[in-house]
Amino acid sequence: MEAIKRMVVAVFDFLQGIVVFLAILVMIYLFLFSPQEINGASMEPTFFNAELIVTNKFIYKVTPPKRGDIVIFKSPKNKDIDYIKRVIGLPGERVRLSSSTFYINGKALGEPYLPSRTVTAPGAFLGENKEITVQAGDYFVCGDNRPHSSDSRDFGPVPGGDFIGKGIFRYWPFDKFTIIPEPAFGV
């Protein structure tokens, strides 16, 4: 009888440990980090369809987004859909697109993550040689696959409040496991 009692206690202790572990995982998922699947081609060649990354969900609560950050945010057109793009323009900056080059406050933005001769066409919101000023709290974002990306050129700057988090590393496919680099800009 004592052996059965010890076994029941051991099983309940084990189950209690599992419940605590799962509760910790849920808290991490809800408030700190979460997986994100890349859907579509808008970030090629940086990310490809079906790749998986980890999103840091708390970083923008303590520090503002920086130019070049890979951000995940709620689509301006449908809040049930998440987009992934790169921050190009920061609050208060003037953004202009001219001959496939972004200009930030009048200076050409070098984009080392793009293949050479990438065509960046104007969109419905930001036309060729049209300059906009990014409002306080908003960010101008673009996909790396400029010909196949719906981004701020089309729908305008994105409120920082719609940001879910920052992409920090790719973990699938495993042979492409890497920390997402932060490009250096001269602007």
Active centre residues (catalytic): 42, 85
169-185 burial: b if 16+ Cβ within 10 Å, else e: ebeeeeeeeeebeeeee
Helix (H, G, I), strand (E, B) or coil at 172: strand
For residue 33, what is the enclosing H or E element?
strand 33-37
Task: Calculate the CA 38 to chain-centre distance.
Answer: 10
Residue 106 is encoded by which pair of tokens?
């009048």
DSSP letter for each residue of 47-59: S-TT-EEEEESSH
Whether the Cβ atoms of residue 73 and residue 87 lie closer than 8 Å to each other: no
Residue 145 is encoded by which pair of tokens?
């696959």
